[in-house]
Every structure is written in structure tokens, then in C-alpha cells.
Amino acid sequence: MLRMGKNDHETIRAVLSGDKEAYGALVVRHSHSLLRVAFRITGNEADAEDVVQEAFLRGYQKLEGFESRSNFSTWIYRIAVRCALDKVSGRKPDAHSSQVSEENDPEQDAVQVADKGAGPDRLLLSAEIRALQQAAMQSLTATEQTAFVLRHMEDCSTEEIGAALGIAPNAAKQAVFRAVHKMRSRLSTLRVSI
Amino acid sequence: MKHLTEEELIGRYYQERVGEGEDCAGVNEHIAACETCAEAYAALAWDLGEVKVIEAPARDEAYGESVWAALEPKLVAHKKGRWSWLGGGVVMRGLSYAAVCGLVAAGAFYAGRLWEQKQTHVVVAQAPAPKPKPRVVVVVLSDHLDRSERLLVELKHVDAGSTEMVSPLRDEAKSLLAANKICRQKASQEDDPALTTALDRLDHVLDGLANQPGGLNSAAIARLQEQMNADGLLFEVRVLRSRIPEERGAGTNRANGGTI
């Protein structure tokens, strides 16, 4: 039975005093937010669940280094982002095997979208749009993809992105810009076909 | 007019999304005044607006507990009281390092002290013994110079015609002559050129007094007086005598007398 009710700092104190079970409360408390960001970065449910497990495991092992003035949710969130980045980095060699080619070929792209989205109800083709978006995301590098997710979907500031990725804020900002540029290039086919 | 870059437009888009659009007032003013940039921004906003936020798969409330159930077997309990929580780990590690550094410093200091003491003993043990002073017994030399000085004073003022005065001079000269030879020889061995030279001249005078062929007549005494004065022998003997008290004070055992 997991004990709830204590705040994160009290729980961490108990864990470091040898109460392993107390860590369960932290896991329960923060699992959903970690799964959310992990899924957004990895785009894969199984990978996202692996990331959540790995993040909590790393967090437990590094808990002695956790500084009391920090916020545990922010701390474990950053660990999860790193785990997700590692996961994405490991599979990025396959990133360019997506159906959307690297070059922006209007004719080919037009066919890809127009074939499935022709007709007056094209605005309802959210599945195709998501597929195109996913393909565009996969064209990004692991860092660009993670930075874009954190900026566009998690509303993180460039400072927060830099801290999560272990890079300077300006480097995080540049990663976001490159990601947006590539995404727009990919999604321009959508604009043409619609 | 210089148009806005894509980076500036992207920055403005995300700032506006989080309610910080007023932070880029310059960009806003430009967009309001520049139709080209306004169109570019609208296109950007449309493109990014099409990038939908990915929704994570739905999980029930028990999801966290299922994560914990899978995770718990992999965890090993932290050691009780190993570190205190409020930064205690850092503090304890710092104190540990400080203690180790202190022990190392103390050990080095103690080893240094031992080494220094050992070196001192070695130096003391290996220091060469002070070179012994000349083994001319100072008391004997002092007495010899005293007697020689008195003899030279008497010689300086002797009445060459008085047999009563010449005879004791000759006897005293004979008495001093043997001691003078030994002192001179010793001074020569001890590499004391001043003393050697003085005793050498004294030897000539003593020899002239003691062994004057035909006896000490007035002419012989006058010649010896002249020789003594020319050499400044009396003065030289007095100077040598003045050195004796210093050497006697420097040596403690020498004052007890001894052999030459």
C-alpha cells in the first residue's frame, strides 16, 4: 500500500533514510506527466513506457545528488526528457526511412496528400495530417525533435529546454528554429494540397 | 525596409502563445506596418497551428502503481542515515575530504619533523671535530715570552762594563735558548709564521748572549742591542705576549698546563 499525503521533499527524505517503499508515492504522483512528455518525444507508446521506467530508475539511483532547493517534478521531468532523447537518438538512423522524402518534391507530395485527401471533406483528414506531421517530426534530429516538442507542445521556455537537454539556452533556441524551419518545409505540401 | 527574419517571427509566435507577445513590441510594430512580414507571420502561424499537440495515450489512475510495481524489484534501499537529506551528502563528503586532507597534512608535518630531527643528528654526528689548536702549551709559551721580554729589557739597559750584570744575562740566555728552539720548532709545525719569525730572531739574540765567542764584552753587547732594536724584537715579543691571554681564554684545558 503506497503512502500518500507527504510532499515530495518529505518523501525523498524518507527514501534516503532507507524507506524504499516511499519512492512509490513519487512514482505514482509523477508517472502521468512523464508518460505524456515521453510519448510526445518518442511518438511510441511502448518506448514512452520504457522511458518512464528508466527515468524513475535513474532518479532513484541519483536521489542522493538531488538538491533540496530543487523541485522534484522538474528534476524527474528533465531526467525523463534525457531518457526520451536517448531513446530517439538510438533509433534516429531510421529517421529518413519515412514516406516523406528529404527533398521537397511538390509533385510527389501533392500526390501523397491529394490522393488520400481529395474532396470537400479534406479538413477532416486528421489522420493523414498526423501522419504527415509524424513524418516531418522524424526528419528532425533527436535534439531538434525534443526541443520542438518541449517548445511547441510542452510550452517550455528556451532556458528550460536548455536545462533539460544539457545545452545552452541559445543552442536550444537555435534547435527550435531549425526544427520549425524543417517542419514548415515538410508541411508546405499540406498547405498546397489543402 | 528590412524585413523580419524567420527566427524573429518564430520567436514572436511562441512568445505570443505563452502570453508574452508584448515582450517583442518591436516585432509587433513591424508586422503591423509591413504587409510582407505580416503575410509571412500569418503563414508561419498557420503552419505551426497545423502541428497538433500530440496527446499521450490515456491511462487510468492505477497507472502510477503499475509503474511502481514494475520498478520496485529493481531498487535497492538506500542505506539508513548514510547521508542526511538537506545536502548532507555534499557536506559529509566535504568533511570526509577535509579529514583526509588534514590527516595527510598532519602525517606530512610529523614525517617532516622526524626527518628534520634525523638530519640534525646526522649533521651533528658527521660534523668534523674542530681542528685542535696548536699543541704548544700556552702557559709555557707565555712564560717563555715573559722571560724573554725581561731578558731583552735587561739587555737593552745593561751596562756592558758590569760583569755582575752580564753574567746573569748569559745564564738566562742559555736557559731560554733550549726552550726557544722547541717553541720555534713547534710554531713552525703549527704554521704560525709570525711566531716562528719572532722566535727565530730571538734565537739569534739568545745565541749571541749565551754562546758569544770570547765572552760577552761591551762590543758584543752593543752589537746585540743594535740588532735587537733594529729588528724591533722587544716590541714583537710584547705583541706576541698580548696574543696569549686571548688564546688562554679560548682554551679551557690549556690553562692547566701540559707538554709541548
Whether B178 and B127 have beta carbons less than 8 Å apart is answered as no
Query: A20-51: per-residue pLDDT in tens?
Result: 999 999 999 999 999 999 999 998 899 999 99
Which distant-in-sequence residues (6+ apart) come within 8 Å of B240 by Cβ?
B145, B194, B195, B198
Of B54, B56, B64, the CB nearest to A29: B64
Residue B100 class from Cβ within 10 Å (0-12 exposed, 13-18 middle, 19+ buried)? Answer: exposed
With 50 as the cut, is the pLDDT of residue A106 above it?
Answer: no
According to the model, what pLDDT value does residue A97 have?
A: 38
Predicted pLDDT at A50? 95
Mean pLDDT across A5-17:
86
B50 in reach of chain A (CB within 8 A): yes
Which residues of chain A have a CB within 8 Å of the CB of B82? 16, 64
| Cβ atoms of residues A190 and A113 within 8 Å | yes
Q: How far apart are CA A166 and CA A154, in angstroms?
A: 17
In which residue are the cell numbers 760577552 written?
B216
Quick one: pLDDT at residue B141?
Answer: 81
pLDDT tops 80 at residue A109: no
Give pLDDT, residue A54. Answer: 95
φ, ψ of residue B22 in degrees (nearest 5): -70, -15
Report the percentage of chain A scoring pLDDT > 90.
56
Distance from CA of A31 to the nearest CA of B (A): 5
Q: Do B75 and A60 touch (CB under 8 A)?
A: yes
Answer whether A18 sits within 8 Å of B63, measured CB to CB: no
Among B68, B73, B88, B72, which residue's Cα sits nearest to residue A13?
Answer: B88
- Torsion sign (Cα): A167, A172, A174, A179: positive
Q: Summarize pLDDT for A117-172 with one digit per residue, the tens.
A: 445 455 556 677 778 888 888 889 999 999 999 999 999 999 999 999 999 999 99
pLDDT 10s digit of each residue in chain B, 260 long? 688 898 889 988 988 776 665 667 788 888 888 999 999 999 898 888 888 888 888 899 899 999 999 999 999 888 765 444 444 455 556 666 777 777 888 888 778 777 777 665 555 455 555 555 555 556 678 888 888 888 888 888 877 667 677 778 888 888 888 888 888 888 888 888 888 888 888 888 888 888 877 777 788 888 888 888 877 888 888 888 777 665 554 444 444 444 34
- DSSP assignment letter at B19: T
Nearest to A78 by CA among A37, A31, A23: A37
Burial group, residue B191, by CB count within 10 angstroms (0-12, 13-18, 19+): exposed
pLDDT recorded at residue A136 = 87
| pLDDT of B46 | 86
List CB contacts of A162: < 8 A, sequence separation 6 or more: A168, A169, A170, A171, A172
- Find chain A residues with C-beta within 8 A of B72's C-beta: 20-21, 24
Q: How many residues does chain B have?
A: 260
C-alpha cell at B126: 658527521
| Chain A interface includes B102 (CB < 8 A) | no
Interchain contact, B67 vs A155, CB within 8 Å: no
Distance CA B203, CA B209 (A): 10
